[in-house]
Amino acid sequence: MNTVADYTTAGMAIVRRDALLFLSYRFRVLSQLAAVFFSISLFYYLSRMVNVTTFSSSDEYFGYAVVGIAILEVIGASLSGLPPALRQELVAGTFERLILSPAGAVTSTIAMLAFPMLVALVSGTVALMFGIVVFGLPIHWSTAPLAIPVALLAALAFAPFAIGIGGAVLAVKQAGRVSGFVVTGLSLVGGFFFPVALLPWWIRWMSQVQPFTPSLNLLRHLLIGTPLVESEWLSFVKLIGFSAALLPASIWFLSVSVRWAQRRGTIIEY
C-alpha cells in the first residue's frame, strides 16, 4: 500500500471513530437539530419585528440570517469543536496512541476536523430546509446546487484556523479558550447577522482579511439571490487563495507545536 493510501485510510479511521462516538450518544443528533430549529425560529420572529432600510423585506433579512447561521455552524464545529476534542483525547490518554501510530499526531488532528465539519454541513443544510419548509424561505433553486462546492471550499478555507488553534492547544494547553473569542469576534465582523457595511469604517477592513465574509457573500448570492458587492469570481478566488496560503501554514504550525511539546515533554499532558 502506498503512503497516500495509508494516510487516507488512517484519516478515514478517525472519521469513522468520531461517527461511532457521535452516534453512541442517542440524543445528540436530536438535541443538535433542536438547537438549529430554535435558532432559525428566533431569527424568523426577529425578522418580523425588524424593519430597516438595509433590507427590502423581513423575508430578505430572514434569508440573510439563515445563511449566516448555517455558516456559523461550520465555523463553530471546527474552531470551537477541536480544542475540547483534543482536550478529551489528552485527558483520556488516547492522544498518546495517535502520536505513537504511524499516522501520527498531525494527520490525526487534521482528520479530527473532518467529521464535525461534515455534521456541521449537514446541520447547515437542515437549517436551510427548516427555513424553507417551516418558514417559507425563498430559495434560488437555479443556483442553489452551486452552493455545495462553495460550502466545501469554504470549509477548506476555515480549516486552517481550526488547525492553528489545535496546534496552540497542544503547545500551551489552555489556548482552546481563545477559540470562543475568535468565533464571537468573527460573528461580529464577518457579516453573519448583519451587513459589514453597518460596521464603523475603522473595523470594516477586518471583513476583507478572512475567508468567512467572501464565503457568506457567495453562499447568500447562490442561495437567496443577495447581490454581490464584488464579482463572484473575485470572492471565489479569495476563498481559493485563503485555502492555498493558510492550509500549508497551519499544518506547518501544528507540526512545530507537536514537536515543541514533545521536546518539552508536555505532549500528553493537559
Which residues contribute to the site for another protein (CB under 8 A)? 1, 3, 6, 9-10, 12-14, 16-17, 20-21, 24-25, 92-94, 96-104, 108, 259, 262-263, 265, 267-268
How many CB atoms are located within 10 Å of the residue 193 CB?
15
Q: For the chain, percent helix, then strand, then coil, each to nearest 5?
A: 80, 0, 20
- DSSP reduced 3-state for 169: helix
Q: Which CB, 21 or 240, lies closer to another protein?
A: 21
| CB burial of residue 62 (10 Å; 0-12, 13-18, 19+) | buried
Helix 28-49 × helix 3-23 angle, to 10°: 80
Q: Which CB, 13 or 188, lies closer to another protein?
A: 13
Q: Which CB, 25 or 205, lies closer to another protein?
A: 25
State the minimum distance, in angstroms, from the CB of residue 19 to another protein: 11
Q: Measure the N-to-C terminal CA separation of the chain; round to a whole number of Å.
A: 35
State the minimum distance, in angstroms, from the CB of residue 23 to another protein: 9
Q: Which CB, 58 or 262, lies closer to another protein?
A: 262
State the minimum distance, in angstroms, from the CB of residue 86 to another protein: 14
State the minimum distance, in angstroms, from the CB of residue 167 to another protein: 17
State the minimum distance, in angstroms, from the CB of residue 28 to another protein: 11
Q: Which CB, 19 or 178, lies closer to another protein?
A: 19
Phi then psi dihedrals of residue 71, to 5 deg:
-70, -35
Q: Which CB, 91 or 240, lies closer to another protein?
A: 91
Q: Shortest CA distance to 221 belongs to which of 142, 117, 132?
A: 142
State the minimum distance, in angstroms, from the CB of residue 180 to another protein: 26
Q: Which CB, 94 or 184, lies closer to another protein?
A: 94
User: Residues near 36 by Cβ (< 8 Å), separated by ≥ 6?
Assistant: 69, 73, 123, 126, 127, 130
State the minimum distance, in angstroms, from the CB of residue 114 to another protein: 14
Q: Shortest CA distance to 10 belongs to which of 143, 101, 128, 129?
A: 101
Residue in this structure with the C-alpha cell 489545535, named with its chain if needed: 166
